[in-house]
Amino acid sequence: MKRVSLTQYLVEEQRLNNSIPAELRLLIEVVARACKTISHAVGKGALGEVLGTAGSENVQGEVQKKLDILSNEILLEANEWGGHLAAMASEEMESIHPIPNRYPMGEYMLLFDPLDGSSNIDVNVSIGTIFSVLKAPDGMGTPTEQDFLQPGSKQVAAGYAVYGPQTVLVLTTGNGVNCFTLDREMGSWVLTQRGMQIPADTKEFAINASNSRHWYPPVTRYVDEMLAGETGPRAKNFNMRWIASMVADVHRILNRGGIFMYPADQREPDKAGKLRLMYEANPMSFLVEQAGGAATNGKQRMLDIQPTGLHQRVAVFLGSKNEVERVTSYHQE
């Protein structure tokens, strides 16, 4: 089998489809390199002294793990000097990170969830990194938070890495979704799946059922109907999976279909769900749509949401198209 590396894939994409400007190509390669470094740290586990908590909290009041902070630093350092970025923003940093003056400023802006699935770090279950790329608005001076507040439809690239039994990188630049596997011995990303497609129908759903008593009626109805199985209104049996790492749940859905849900619930009516629009929901929704799936917040297309804050949270329904449309329609009834 002829191996196609990430670099070769990007160069060919640039040449043939003209979809990837040179600066964006560099950006993606740098992010991929950072993910390789994170993967290496994750793989060391206790031997690398990377497990456990860091003793601090992030802007959302969540306890930070050592790997949350380390991964954030790896991504910042890798992306600062290349000249491809104007600024970065991260789930783990309260404010945006403009590129220091000593480096040239580029026209892209990078957002990331440096380490997704933090609760799984110490128990050796798949975790990952999620990233999203926006273009700096025309005529932007010193970057501000406002410059980042663009709807997900404006993303020019998005992707995630999963640090699991295999380390994979899944990427879209708006021209389909491709998967690269890290060859750990060679240290290179090799194209292993082209044009990933999510089947429109599925018999598998993912939701944290421990919150069911707090759900709003449309979610309860939708899940109850699936749980009723063959003799219920859906007339088929469904299976359930919940990994508690969005990257791993989404990766399963990109491979064999399914619907992933993290709804808003009645515990905190002012809080629109748990997941973050800019670092999790938007990049994943871009990938899912590019693979033929759908993504909403229960009411509208995720990628159409006009963000109002960098760390804004959102309800998430994404995956197999017919299922996402069904649960979204239940919200409209």
Shortest CB 156 distance to Mn ion, Å? 21
Asked if 119 touches ligand AHG (CB under 6 A), the answer is yes
128 is in an annotated binding site: no
Shortest CB 83 distance to Mn ion, Å? 27
Residue the block writes with tokens 């049996």: 237
Q: Give the residue with the Cβ less far from Mn ion, 160 or 222.
A: 160
**Cβ atoms 160, 287 nearer than 8 A:** yes
DSSP 2: -
Report how many residues bind ligand AHG under the rule CB under 6 A.
11
**Listed residue (275, 274, 253) closest to 202, CA to CA:** 253
**Distance of alpha carbon 271 from alpha carbon 292, whole angstroms:** 29
Q: Give the residue with the Cβ less far from ligand AHG, 210 or 306.
A: 210
**Cβ atoms 133, 24 nearer than 8 A:** yes
Applying CB under 5 A, among 10, 34, 36, 116 the residue interacting with Mn ion is 116
Asked if 87 touches ligand AHG (CB under 6 A), the answer is no
Q: Of 23-31, 174-182, 242-250, 291-299, which segment contacts ligand AHG by CB under 6 A?
A: 242-250
119 binds, among Mn ion, ligand AHG, none (CB under 5 to 8 A by kind): ligand AHG
Residue the block writes with tokens 């899912």: 288
115 is in an annotated binding site: yes
DSSP per-residue string spanning 142-188: S--HHHH---GGG-SEEEEEEESSSEEEEEESSS-EEEEEEETTTTE
Q: Give the residue with the Cβ less far from ligand AHG, 108 or 262.
A: 262
19 is in an annotated binding site: no
77 binds, among ligand AHG, Mn ion, none (CB under 5 to 8 A by kind): none
Asked if 244 touches ligand AHG (CB under 6 A), the answer is yes
* Backbone φ, ψ for residue 85 (5° rounding): -120, 150
**Listed residue (252, 244, 167, 242) closest to 202, CA to CA:** 252
Q: Where along the sequence are the contacts to ligand AHG (CB under 6 A)?
A: 62, 113, 116-119, 208, 244-246, 274
Interacting residues toward Mn ion by CB under 5 A:
91, 113, 115-116
